[in-house]
Structure 1
Amino acid sequence: MELDIRLPARQVDVERIERQLLDCDPAGVVDLAPATGHLRVSTCAAPDEVARILSDSGHPVAASDISIVPSVCCGGCSG
């Protein structure tokens, strides 16, 4: 699932967040959306687990700051 996360306006340590995410989801991906500055997380981890990872990384967020992005998968590439 893809998550869109609003973070307070400050420096975001994306590499630190990604290292911690990879401990629970080795296929997880983290980056900053250039248009919004929001953190984008692609993971199989639940939103509450991602919130814990962010908090442990020095970026605490409220549950209301995490939005699940609807899937854009058409299913065409996997059968």
Structure 2
Amino acid sequence: MEFDVVLQQPGVDLAVVRKVLCDVDPAALVDMDPLQPGIRVAAQLTTGELAGLLAEAGYPVEAGAIRPRPSVCCGGCGG
């Protein structure tokens, strides 16, 4: 799943967030969103799991701050 996460804390340490996410999903990706105050996450997680991992990384968020992005999967690879 891909998520937009609105964070109120300035200066997010992406390395810390990436470490916590990759401990659960080694293929997880995280980066800053240049168009909003937050991050983008791609990982095989539920919204609740992501919220728990962000809290573990030091960035607790309300459930409404995590917005799943629409799938961009075309189905062409069979996945």
TM-score with structure 1 setting the length:
0.90
Correspondence for 1:26: 26
State how far apart, in whole Å, the 2-side matches of 1:14 and 1:75 are: 30
CA root-mean-square deviation: 1.2
Q: How many residues align?
A: 78
Give unmatched runs, 5+ long, in structure 2.
none
* 1:56 counterpart residue number: 56
Which amino acid letter does the alignment assign opposite residue 69 of structure 2?
A: V
Equivalent position of 2:4 in the other structure: 4
Secondary structure of the residue that 1:36 maps to in structure 2? coil
The aligned residue for residue 44 of structure 1 is 44
5+ unaligned residues in a row in structure 1: which ranges? none
